[in-house]
Chains A and B, each alone.
Chain A
Amino acid sequence: MKGPTDCVCSEAISRCVGACALVLSGWMLSGSLRATELPLHVSHRMVVPSTTRVSGIGFDAAGAQAYLATGAAVTAFDATSFRQTDSLQLPAAAVAMAIDQEGSKGYAAIAAPAELVVFKLHPLHIESTIPLHDGVPAALLYASSEHALYVLSDASSTITRWDAASGKRSGQVRLSGALGQMATNARGTLYVANTTANAVDAVDEHSMKRLGAIPTKHCVGPTGLAMDPIGRRLFVSCQDGARTVIDTDMGFTFESFPTGTPGSSQMVFAMHPFGAGGWKGAAFNAGGNGELAGLRMNAFVNYSAGGTYALDGKVQAIALNVPAGQLWLALARPQSTTTEANAPAQHVELLVLTPSKGPTP
């Protein structure tokens, strides 16, 4: 393994300098952290046919169809040809979207009026709407293990549980602090990033009672959260640019990558995200700081910094399409950097990243 000063500047100097700084200050905790560029490249990029924010990206179970919630629409794309295949008009702009792959359903939370829109994926059509009375929704999570939806409301600092089958409200927890991304462990515990408390709150999914908090050591202002499919590793990204890995069995932060580029971000994780021959697992986070960062799972108890990838815009949504080996990003871009001559002044691009030649992530 190379030392922290072995930064290889293959592309932009600024990217390399930033990455090296990250490595030097991060070396203290994670000897494996080093400046590398994520071995990904943009295999497809397209302008999103809307000027409004992308509030969610999701895929069907086969990874063949991608669903994009942007403004008051959900648009379906073929994940190979990237051609639009379907679209759905929502009653209002969505603030979040979640997909139930097994049930071939989608859920969109809209703010005005506060509603949960339940829609079918094939073909896209609205199945029902559920009024939300617990404040304006800000985030949404579908937990397949519980067939439950969790709707987070910033205004009321609550997370409300809805039964996906019946559409009935089945519980609520009120938490203090500014809340970020949610994740579940498929064994009855819901986790939510508590940005102001520098902790991850844990909630019993059945009773919707708070079980305690896991402090995000060496990671200030957690916003992004992702769980491994087994439900024992929680990946956290923080506003100070740090990322940590928590063993949820003990509530113990055992891997810390302390310094990255500051900014709020979302996190996603998958085992073998780009195929069986690549990384055992990877967590990616991206947000408003114009950077995609990766954590590589070498073993279940060992992680290293997978590298970073400079983005020319702010990431609005991120999602992994594991069957297709794709990482999708919705990127808000100013006109000056756009590749499309006829693109609007400020617009959103969809980036699909796949492994570069050489070391496969």
Chain B
Amino acid sequence: MPLLTSALALSCLVLTLIPQAEQLALTRQAILAGELWRLWTGHLVHFSSSQLYLDTAILLLLGTVAERELGSRFAGVLVLLGMPILAFLLLLLAPNLLEYRGASGVVMLLAGATGTVLWQRLPPVRGLLLFLVAALASKAIVDATGMDTTLTSLPSGVRVAWQAHVCGAVLGWLAACCKLRYSARAVSLARASASQGALSVTRLSSIANGQGRSPRNHQAIIDV
């Protein structure tokens, strides 16, 4: 049961349906006035029910995969820290953006991280992953040029904030790179300890899959 994903999806549904949803949207003036909760809640409220349902469906799918591939704890930290960073990046990179609502930035954050981990762990599907990246990049270009795709779930008068998608994917990629590098270091330390007979093969494989202990702990094991 992907707890983080379920909690996020439920929050999206509940927060968008309350009448005061506009008090939770990410707006520049409100952030500058000190309403910092909007850095998180802006990603959980939506402009319309169609946007809400589509974003929530994608979040449920991708979140489940992300929690499986990244681990719930890492995914949770990524979402909690990624939300405000993403919001600040939006305020910085899109100065004319008055108001932002939508979970797709968070979805792209998880997608970027999951895609990077799958790229590392599954070399045979790299072609498919490249195709997905190309499709999303094409969509970002279409959105950035303001072309009407007629598939949008946003109401009239609201544009697609493509910057959120790009920033989310890049942030996710960076986070996953850090995680993989950290795991690689852990694996190399674990291998060293395994060669000295301090670690079993099963434990080594679990560390290689990113479920191991921290390098500091392994160093401690080796020291012992």
Bound together:
no
Which residues of A pack against B, CB within 8 Å? Answer: none
